[in-house]
């Protein structure tokens, strides 16, 4: 059961935050409100009138709009075409022509009315994520909605874009619209919400006001006290383990994604890479791991060049790697927990030799790791796909930490992971650092980078704009993430 | 649960037993793969029965006065269907009369074992081609090229069989290895193309099928291959030293079926117990994760197609060295394409594939008798095979017809259809 007797009331002109961990049932609840799912029990009242939503069409007719976490836009269509999609203006009867001009005018009108600048003729695929989101909001607003649901809207935004979005939400609320803001980021909730409903395991566990402290909110979300701060002592950086200089890497389209990057990571320190997703972090890490060819530059692991090495060789030379896309790159969902725990060591003693596997050693290893990393699973023989995101991630982290490491690379180590597991994974990363491993953490969550890192490199459009201390004010890091350096505007190379 | 009548003391125990029993029944009637497979075969036989009646003009004529005397039509239909399916059984497994005659001393043991011998003879090459498709599929590749690989296996195995002089024993071994290598080469090409250029193996293997089949047609007309004493397109006879040892005539079953069982065991071991099997299963379900874990997807694809091709090639060699003793344009029959269906029926599991191949062999062997005795066309067997596969490929249909409960763990997706 994803939702268990939830009551929630949203007043006109209110920003109502729905707070809960991944899998708490927030999206399920909102999908019912938007007609994508039907409730088994209970009712939905709009302005005191009972409504049944069989599809989003019904919901839109009742004045409810939704901006999904993953945008529902057609990349090769223009902004105006996307906004018209599903409610096209047609001239000359049902078989007539699309009235593009009227569409365009509607878009401009709505855009102006709510102060949301969009270019109706731009192609979606050419727009940055923040602008795409604006298109989604304009799209909902052209349908004349009274209640706007925003599902995790800030996950893909820079801190500045987030601020802009919060301002838009505020002005929409002032114009009388109601907003449901789904999130798990406490800071944003406190900044914008008029009321907060906390959901845990499909139940409403409490309502709060914005002056509730972050720790109290987190405790409500998780059901126990959690420490949001990553507890760690000062780093004791040793020798240089990873040394990257002048690195140039191209993305799948042949566009330069990593542009002359120089970085070093020392033993016993965590280097965090901050940046909005899609600024070259993925390609940088893939290049180190031998998953992507290098155009120019050097990558050295303690005087050993990693250029031209296969992924297997890189892993075997003492590198642990937690990929950013867990379900695609991290685990084989149909494989058991035990098999996933040896996914990159199956052909090494004691788990196997060239011609046979050793199921006993694999099982022993699985039992140990499950215990050590607190992986909640009924049996190590269960398929990994049946585990929660947090436990799947623990499987990946356990696998990568179960051999002697010189370098540990974690990309988005806690994406889609519950707060309890985040705490655990962060502790493990710091533990690895204290054992003298060089650690590279890439995350688009600035809080995570600031919490874990001893030094922070900010990436923007494939370049490292600056390496700063984690004590740097957040605003300053946020500006760097948006490409604005202290002295001058970043070169405008569109 | 109707346990109200039971005495209170025993109630709990009884409830437990009943729930165990009902759980057993539930599981039996749930949509697991075994149940669906058996019901698919049953459904195919039911539809086959209708086709048998419809295609017989004699029986059909009784239906013209069905309303006045329905018994005529029903009896005639029942007689025909039971005779046809009786023949299918007698031709494939055993004929009670022949077994009785053997016990009485009036018949020979050869006659008693004849049907099963036929079944296994037809099954042997299908096991190899089925395994070829199954192992490729587990690695995420859809090997449509079993036919071409088997044809090349027929050619290389057959040519070594009649053109090379070697001592008994060694000759057979070399001929089999030649068959394996021929098929392996025919699998290596699409594997390499897939690994290097991303060319889809479905396209390349289908094209290689044509090349192999037409190459065989050309080859048997060439001097040195063609039998000089015959005018038709047929090759020289394979020397007895290269033929698979068989039971005494008229039994046809040969060592091929034993090799097929061994091959099944080897494939099962390779899939589940070897590091290469681990790799190929990982690549099969999630290539990016396999790549991230340091496996070489390209190497796995290539090696996998070599093994799959080799297995199909062995199937061709077994066909030539065991059942046929000469190369003809049709020597490989349809064993490559039937291998696809056998693998589907066996759910891409080695032992399942073995059983499926035997079922296919049985249908084929029984169909021969059915045609001779009941006058039902052999094509009906092909229709039955096709129907079974359709029902298995559409498990939702079977589930709906029999109102099966959803199985708890069985993944009943149309396994093969997902491969595209």
Rounded distance between C-alpha atoms, residue A250 and residue A462, angstroms:
10
Q: What is the ipTM of this complex?
A: 0.79
Averaged pLDDT, A46-55: 84
Task: Identify all chain B residues contacting A318, using CB atoms and an 8 Å cutoff.
Answer: none
Number of domains forming the structure of chain A:
2
The answer to whether residues A163 and A279 belong to one domain is no
Q: What does the pLDDT read at residue B409?
A: 40
Do A216 and A282 reside in the same domain of the chain? Answer: no
Show which of A187, A222, A257 is a domain's final residue. Answer: A222
- For B20-78, how does the pLDDT look when each residue is reduced to its tens digit (9 = 90+)? 666 666 665 666 778 888 888 899 999 999 998 888 888 888 888 888 888 888 888 99
What CA–CA distance (Å, rounded) separates B292 from B289?
A: 5
Query: In terms of domains, do A273 and A216 share one?
Result: no
User: Can you tell me the distance from the alpha carbon of B189 to that of B184, in angstroms, rounded to the nearest whole number?
Assistant: 9
Closest CA to A454 of A273, A235, A230: A235
Residues A211, A98 share a domain = yes
A346/chain B closest Cα distance in angstroms: 7
Per mean pLDDT, which range of A203-207, A351-355, B13-17 is the poorest? B13-17
Q: Do B289 and A331 touch (CB under 8 A)?
A: yes
Name which residue leads in pLDDT, B369 or A484: B369
Same domain, A250 and A217: no
CB pairs under 8 A between A and B: 69
The residue among A222, A251, A279 that closes a domain is A222
User: Domain check: are A346 and A401 in the same one?
Assistant: yes
Secondary structure (3-state) at A280 = coil
Question: Does residue A489 surpass a pLDDT of 60?
Answer: no
* pLDDT at A143 > cutoff 90: no
Residue numbers in B near A288 (CB within 8 A): none
CA distance A456 to A274: 7
Select the highest-mean-pLDDT range: A461-470, B105-114, B306-315: B306-315
> CA-nearest residue of chain B to A286?
B292
Sheet with strand A294-301: strands edge to edge: A256-266, A240-250, A294-301, A304-305
Q: Which of A329, A346, A359 sits opposite B288 (nearest CB)?
A: A329
B353-369 pLDDT, tens digit per residue, is 999 999 999 999 998 89
pLDDT, position A87: 74
Parallel, antiparallel or unpaired: strands A203-208 and A44-46: unpaired
Q: Residue A10 domain-assigned? A: no
Question: Taking CB atoms and an 8 Å cutoff, what residues of chain A touch B286?
Answer: 328, 331-334
Which residues of A sit within 8 Å Cβ distance of B? 289, 291, 310-316, 321, 323, 325, 328-335, 339, 343-344, 346-347, 352-357, 359
> Domain ends where: A222, A250, A281?
A222
Cβ pair B290:A328 closer than 8 A: no
Range of the domain at A113: 15-222
For residues A223 and B239, which has the higher predicted lDDT (pLDDT)? B239
Q: CATH number of the domain at A315, please.
A: 3.40.50.300
- Are residues A423 and A317 part of one domain? yes
Q: Which helix (H) or strand (E) holds A244?
A: strand A240-250
| Whether the predicted pLDDT of B406 surpasses 80 | no
Q: Mark whether A207 and A289 lie in a shared domain.
A: no
What pLDDT does A12 receive? 87
Residue at A104 is within a domain? yes
Across the interface, which of A332, A355, A356 has its CB nearest the CB of B289? A332
Q: Which tokens go with A354? A: 């060239």
Q: Which two tokens stand for residue A347?
A: 């052909």
**Residues A132, A77 share a domain:** yes
Give the chain A residue whose CA is nearest to the CA of B294. Answer: A312
Residues A385 and A307 in one domain: yes
Q: Which of residues 112-131 of B touch A (CB under 8 A)?
A: none
One domain, residues A359 and A420: yes
Say yes or no: A317 and A464 in one domain.
Answer: yes
* Whole-angstrom distance, CA of residue A3 vs CA of residue A18: 13
Residue A234 falls within a domain, yes or no? no
Mutate to test the interface with A, among B270, B273, B284, B289 (most CBs of A within 10 A): B289
């Amino acid at each position: 059961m994803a939702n268990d007797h939830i009551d929630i009331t949203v007043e006109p002109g209110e920003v109502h935050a729905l707070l809960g961990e991944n899998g708490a049932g927030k999206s399920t609840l909102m999908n019912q409100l938007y007609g994508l799912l039907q409730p088994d029990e209970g009712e939905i009242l709009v302005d005191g009138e009972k409504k049944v939503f069989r599809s989003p069409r019904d919901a839109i007719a009742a004045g409810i709009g939704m901006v999904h976490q993953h945008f529902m836009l057609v990349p090769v269509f223009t902004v105006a075409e996307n906004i018209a999609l599903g409610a096209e203006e047609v001239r000359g009867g049902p078989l007539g022509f699309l009235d593009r001009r009227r569409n365009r005018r509607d878009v401009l009108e709505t855009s102006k009315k709510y102060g949301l600048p969009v270019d109706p003729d731009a192609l979606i695929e050419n727009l940055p994520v923040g602008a795409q989101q604006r298109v989604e909001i304009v799209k909902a607003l052209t349908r004349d909605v009274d209640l706007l649901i925003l599902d995790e809207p800030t996950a893909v935004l820079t801190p500045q874009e987030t601020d802009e979005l919060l301002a838009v939400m505020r002005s929409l609320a002032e114009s009388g619209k109601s907003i449901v803001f789904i999130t798990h980021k406490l800071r944003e909730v406190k900044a914008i919400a008029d009321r907060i409903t906390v959901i845990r395991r499909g139940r409403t566990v409490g309502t709060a006001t914005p002056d509730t402290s972050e720790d109290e909110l987190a405790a409500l979300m998780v059901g126990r006290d959690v420490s949001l701060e990553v507890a760690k002592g000062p780093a004791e950086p040793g020798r240089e383990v990873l040394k990257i200089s002048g690195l140039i890497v191209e993305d799948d389209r042949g566009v330069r994604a990593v542009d002359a990057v120089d970085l070093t990571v020392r033993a016993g320190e965590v280097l965090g890479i901050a940046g909005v997703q899609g600024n070259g972090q993925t390609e940088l890490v893939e290049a180190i791991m031998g998953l992507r060819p290098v155009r120019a530059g050097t990558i050295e692991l303690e005087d050993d060049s990693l250029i031209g090495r296969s992924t297997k060789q890189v892993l075997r030379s003492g590198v642990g790697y937690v990929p950013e896309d867990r379900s695609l790159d991290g685990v084989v969902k149909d494989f058991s927990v035990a098999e996933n725990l040896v996914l990159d060591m199956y052909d090494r003693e004691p788990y196997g030799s060239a011609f046979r596997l050793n199921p006993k050693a694999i099982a022993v290893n699985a039992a140990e790791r499950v215990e050590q990393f607190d992986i909640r699973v009924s049996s190590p023989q269960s398929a990994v796909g049946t585990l929660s995101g947090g436990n799947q991630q623990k499987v990946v982290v356990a696998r990568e930490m179960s051999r002697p490491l010189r370098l540990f690379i974690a990309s988005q180590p806690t994406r889609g992971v519950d707060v309890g597991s985040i705490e655990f994974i962060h502790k493990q990363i710091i533990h690895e650092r204290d054992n003298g491993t060089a650690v590279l953490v890439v995350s688009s969550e600035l809080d995570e980078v600031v919490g874990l890192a001893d030094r922070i490199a900010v990436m923007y459009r494939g370049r490292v704009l600056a390496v700063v201390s984690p004590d740097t004010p957040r605003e300053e890091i946020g500006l760097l993430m948006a490409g604005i350096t202290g002295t001058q505007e970043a070169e405008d190379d569109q | 649960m109707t346990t109200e009548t039971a005495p209170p003391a025993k109630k709990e125990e009884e409830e437990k037993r009943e729930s165990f029993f009902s759980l057993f029944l539930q599981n039996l009637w749930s949509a697991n793969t075994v149940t669906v497979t058996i019901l698919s075969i049953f459904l195919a036989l039911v539809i086959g029965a209708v086709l048998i009646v419809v295609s017989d003009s004699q029986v059909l004529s009784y239906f013209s006065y069905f309303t006045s005397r329905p018994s005529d039509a029903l009896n005639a239909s029942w007689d025909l269907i039971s005779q046809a399916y009786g023949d299918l059984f007698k031709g494939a497994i055993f004929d009670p009369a022949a077994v009785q005659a053997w016990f009485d001393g009036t018949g020979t043991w050869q006659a008693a074992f004849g049907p099963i011998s036929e079944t296994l003879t037809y099954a042997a090459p299908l096991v190899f081609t089925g395994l070829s498709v199954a192992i490729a599929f587990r690695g995420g590749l859809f090997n449509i090229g079993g036919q071409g690989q088997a044809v090349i296996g027929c050619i290389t195995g057959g040519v070594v069989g009649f053109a090379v002089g070697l001592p008994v024993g060694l000759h057979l071994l070399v001929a089999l290895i030649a068959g394996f290598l021929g098929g392996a080469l025919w699998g290596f090409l699409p594997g390499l193309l897939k690994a290097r250029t991303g060319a889809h193996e479905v396209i390349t293997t289908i094209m290689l099928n044509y090349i192999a089949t037409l190459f065989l047609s050309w080859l048997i007309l060439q001097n040195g291959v063609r039998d000089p004493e015959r005018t038709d397109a047929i090759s020289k006879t394979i020397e007895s030293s290269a033929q698979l040892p068989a039971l005494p005539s008229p039994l046809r079953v040969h060592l091929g079926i034993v090799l097929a069982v061994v091959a099944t065991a080897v494939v099962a071991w390779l899939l589940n117990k070897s590091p290469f099997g681990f790799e190929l299963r990982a690549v099969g379900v999630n290539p990016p994760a396999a790549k991230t874990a340091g496996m070489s997807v390209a190497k796995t694809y290539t090696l996998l197609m070599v093994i799959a091709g080799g297995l199909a090639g062995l199937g061709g060699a077994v066909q030539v060295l065991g059942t046929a003793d000469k190369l003809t344009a049709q020597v490989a029959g349809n064993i490559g394409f039937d291998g696809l269906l056998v693998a589907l029926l066996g759910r891409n599991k080695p032992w399942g594939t073995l059983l499926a191949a035997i079922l296919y062999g049985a249908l084929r062997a029984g169909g021969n008798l059915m045609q001779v005795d009941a006058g039902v066309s052999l094509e009906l067997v092909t229709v039955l095979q096709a129907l079974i596969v359709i029902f298995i490929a559409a498990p939702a249909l079977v589930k709906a017809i029999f109102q099966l409960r959803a199985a708890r763990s069985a993944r009943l997706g149309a396994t093969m259809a997902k491969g595209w």
